[in-house]
Structure 1
Amino acid sequence: MSKQITYDEKVRALLKEGVDKVANAVKITIGPRGKNVILDRSYGSPMITNDGVTIAKEISLSDKVENMGAEMIKEVASKTNEVAGDGTTTAVVLAQAMIAEGMKKTTMGVNAMGVRLGIEAGAEAIVAALKTMAKPIKNHSEIKQVATISAESEEIGTIIADTIDKVGQDGVVTVEESQTVGIESEVVKGLQFEKGYVSPYLITNPERMEAEYNDVAVLLTDKKISSIKDILPLLEKLAQTGKKDLVIIADDIDGEALSTFIVNKLRGTFNILAVKAPGFGDRKKDALADIAAVIGAKVVSEEVGMKMETAEISVLGHAGKVIATKDHTTIV
């Protein structure tokens, strides 16, 4: 396959053209007087939206270099949506302006590294200033206002505010698509920690980049699992009960063991979700003990005379649902 090679001013101009084509389509939606955009999709009917990240994702340019610029600005929208859940259009407008000014300065002969350092310093100063101006949300009414604006629905805003009241500030709120008509909220006892799946090959929902298992057995260990021989006896015992799903929360999972888990997952023979245990040192032990208390498991640890090779299925806990992203794991 032939390659297209472009240099210097020409490549910068094409990259900026790609950035501008995406940004110009997105930025008309900004603010209360923003306009809608109609998207012609490859399947289904056209879509009308004013959501920045949705618009950006639908744009693909024929020129390869321009498309690289488009992909950069699309990444800005996606990352903002992933981190903040809102503000994608504002992020795109800011990124377009910084790229335009940055290219103008480099064209004038300013050192590109100096431009980068200046942008980073400016960003830090702006973030610090915004934090001083930020107003913490303190009560049900303010939560409802923010949720209503974000969801564009007073009904949903009220439900979100009521749910947060029930679970508290430290609680976790997740949103799922229902198979029935209407909006419902349910409070379930569980926990969440800041460690996700060890490999994206273990996900079950590519659209949401999540791994989700229902009514699943859970293994807890402070041991690093690298060899499949260590855990194979326990997997065989679990398989004999007719179960093909297992969540493993361990000190680490890598090497031959992880490769085998991925192959079995892709083949559909045995589904394993591997997650690193949260914390370090004694905090990791405490975290595993907390998880064990919630799911009714025993932590497999040589410190208490338990070896992985001889562990029985009685050490496994049970969770009604486990959802893991690349950064978080939720057990309910």
Structure 2
Amino acid sequence: MIRQIRFEDGKSRIAEGIRSLCRALSLEGGILVKGTYCFSAAEVAKELEGEDLFMNQGIRLACAAISEINEVTGCGTRETARMMGSLLSVCERKAASGINPVFLAKDLKQAADSLEAAVLNGSFFSGKSKGELIGQITRDPETARMILKGTEAGELVVKESMYADTRLQITRGMHLDGPLTVGESGTFSEVLVLIVNRPLSSFGELVPLLQKLGQQKLFILADQIEGEALSLLSANVKKDRLHVWAMKAPGIGRRKEDIMGDVAVLTDTRVFDGMYPCSIEEIPLQMLGKANVLTAAGTYTVIEGDADRDMVRNRIVDIKKKIGDPKTNYYDKQKLRERLAALNGTAPVLYAGGDTLSQSKEEKRRIEYAVAYAQTIERYGIYHTKDLLSVSFKSEAEKMLAQVISKSLDGEEISTWLLVLMLRKVCGLMVMWLTTGAVMVSTGYDREDLELIKNGVDIERLRG
């Protein structure tokens, strides 16, 4: 990748990029972006980016910190932007006065750690109910009621709706998107389950297993069902010789494998590859999974299994660890929450409506922020902003940081976790900026990069 390097000039341009985004996000109310009012730091940052690559880098760094705080706490865009802009100005003045930036960064990090401990010790729990906390963000009692009902039912998943109205849908069991390739729609009980993570094209390898079925029902979830297997299965099902339903596993790549694994755990079976632990012809009925209820609709299938088992609980714990991993991006977290809801046996989905696609996206974001806000308040409590100035400061850096935070906050109370994340993310960004020497950005792609791009490789994500 072709790179461009600058030293002090690059550092100052990064600061200008951070300041430009903070200036825009510090304003009261929504920000008009492409004809609609927007509260998303990412969308505003995208519009602010220009030809200066070093300023763009600063905008992206500030946007990443603010967006991560939004996703976790559901609020804090304006407060974080104000704090970031004020703290950047203070750090610039102190660095210009001759203070060693490395020593200043060290003092700032110690001050942030000290204030974080003081905030966590001084937090208390709000007397408001979860519904009232959600209503503060949504400003719609009906939407708050649906969110509360969905969160009580299970792991709530928020999706964009094709309709103008926001609606809640609670599904019992694991929801698999996609039409049936074999079999008719309906609801069936006590169905055996076969999961194969490779294409099924030979009917001959299925015959030994089908002969063992007798009058029992079988559901096949495979990577692909094609050729002879598809035509002969369909023909025998239509003539009522077999009670078989089959569909292609939803998703692609790693996500498809994860879904297959989830279905296998829920139905108490394993994913077969045709070789290990045995071939398709040798599979005994005892190794097949079991679905208590199978609901086959036109565009989806729902499987209800036994969710109250150790294997299911262990898989849920693993998924929760991935959700809590800071390296997991926002999109992957949403998909992991969908898997979590399916394994829990109850999948509440709230479809965020809007007259246009942009309004639907904005409503979806608002609902997600409302849920996150209520969860963080319920778990970590709130903090009185006036208590921050009454903390006994051990250093000048702590006093300076407390004053910057106090000027950035509007209300008398703030989410404790929001304030903690502001200290961590904003101070972390300032420490990085203070200790930065050379700034390097990419200005284009060389021959090797172009070859990787042709093969579908995301080189920006690959090389950071």
Q: TM-score, normalised by structure 2?
A: 0.43
Q: Which amino acid counterpart does residue 258 of structure 2 have in structure 1?
A: V
Larger radius of gyration: 2
**Which runs of 5 or more residues in structure 1 are unaligned?**
29-33, 192-211, 221-229, 249-260, 263-270, 278-287
Q: What's the counterpart of residue 17 of structure 1? A: 16
Distance in 2 of aligned mates of 1:38 and 1:164? 32
> Residue in 1 aligned with 2:372?
none
Match for residue 143 of structure 1 among 124, 130, 138: 130
- SS of 1:86's equivalent in the other structure is coil
1:182 to 165, 187, 192: 165
Equivalent residue number for residue 298 of structure 1:
269
CA distance in structure 2 between the aligned counterparts of 1:147 and 1:124, rounded to whole angstroms: 30
Corresponding position of 1:92: 81
- Structure 2: how far apart are the matches of 1:23 and 1:219? 54
Offset of residue 293 of structure 1: 6.0
Matched, 1:161 2:169: no
1:329 deviation in Å?
Answer: 4.5
Q: In 2, Cα distance between the equivalents of 1:329 and 1:35?
A: 31
Contact 1:16–1:100 (8 Å) recurs in 2? no
Change over 3 Å in CA distance of 1:245–1:59 after alignment to 2 = farther
Please list, as runs of the form range in 1=range in 2, the aligned pairs for 1:191-210 lying within 5 A after superposition: none
1:330 CA drift (Å): 2.6
Residue 219 of structure 1, CA deviation: 8.6
Aligned partner letter, 2:159: E
- In structure 2, C-alpha distance between the alignment counterparts of 1:213 and 1:59, rounded to whole Å: 40
**Unpaired runs of at least 5, structure 2:** 181-192, 207-221, 231-245, 295-300, 304-318, 324-330, 343-464
How many equivalent residue pairs?
A: 250
Write out aligned runs for 1:205-244 (5 A).
214-215=177-178, 232=198, 238=222, 239-240=225-226
Judged with a 3 Å threshold, the aligned counterparts in structure 2 of structure 1 residues 180 and 118 are, in CA distance, closer, same or farther, namely same
For 2:385, the equivalent position in structure 1 comes to none
Q: Percent identity?
A: 16
Aligned partners of 2:3, 2:162: CA distance in 1, in Å?
48
- The answer to whether the 8 A contact 1:61-1:70 is kept is no
- Deviations along 1:3-56, one digit per CA (max 9) or x if unpaired, are 654321x2222221111111101101xxxxx234222x3xxxx12235545433
Q: Deviations over 1:178-206 (max 9, x none)?
A: 23342322333458xxxxxxxxxxxxxxx
Q: Does 1:152 align with 2:134?
A: no
Q: Secondary structure at the match of 2:132?
A: helix
SS in 2 for 1:273: helix
Q: Which residue in the other structure is 1:49 paired with?
A: 38
| Contact 2:30–2:37 (Cα < 8 Å) also in 1 | yes
Q: In structure 2, do the counterparts of structure 1 residues 48 and 4 end up closer, same or farther at CA, with 3 Å as the change threshold? A: same
1:93-124 per-residue CA deviation (whole Å, 9 max, x = no partner) reads: 22233333334344444444443343333333
Give the letter aligned to residue 22 of structure 1. L
In 2: Cα distance, 1:11 partner to 1:107 partner: 16
Matched, 1:80 2:86: no
User: Secondary structure at 1:274's aligned position in 2?
Assistant: helix
Change (3 A) 1:293 1:62: closer
* Residues 104/185 of structure 1: CA separation in 2 closer, same or farther (3 Å cut): same
Q: Deviations over 1:44-89 (max 9, x none)?
A: xx12235545433432123222222112111122222233332222
What per-residue deviation string (whole Å, max 9, x for no partner) do you get for residues 285-314 of structure 1? Answer: xxx8x97563x240359xxxx935625698
Q: Secondary structure at the match of 2:161?
A: coil
CA spacing shift, 1:310–1:98, aligned 2, 3 Å: farther
Distance in 2 (CA, whole Å) between partners of 1:292 and 1:185 is 28
Counterpart CA distance in 1 for 2:94 and 2:179 is 57
Distance 2:40 2:101 in 1: 33
Select the structure that is richer in helix: 2
State the Cα distance separating 1:151 from its structure 2 match.
1.6
The AA in structure 2 aligned to 1:7 is: F
RMSD, aligned α-carbons = 4.4
CA shift, 1:246, in A, is 2.8
| CA distance, structure 1, for counterparts of residue 177 and residue 54 of structure 2 | 44
Any conservation in 1 of the 2:42–2:63 contact (CA below 8 Å)?
yes
Q: Distance in 2 between matches of 1:309 and 1:329?
A: 33
Question: In 2, distance between residues paired with 1:114 and 1:60?
Answer: 32
**Whole-angstrom distance in 2 between the partners of 1:161 and 1:81:** 20
Query: What residue in structure 2 maps to residue 6 of structure 1?
Result: 6
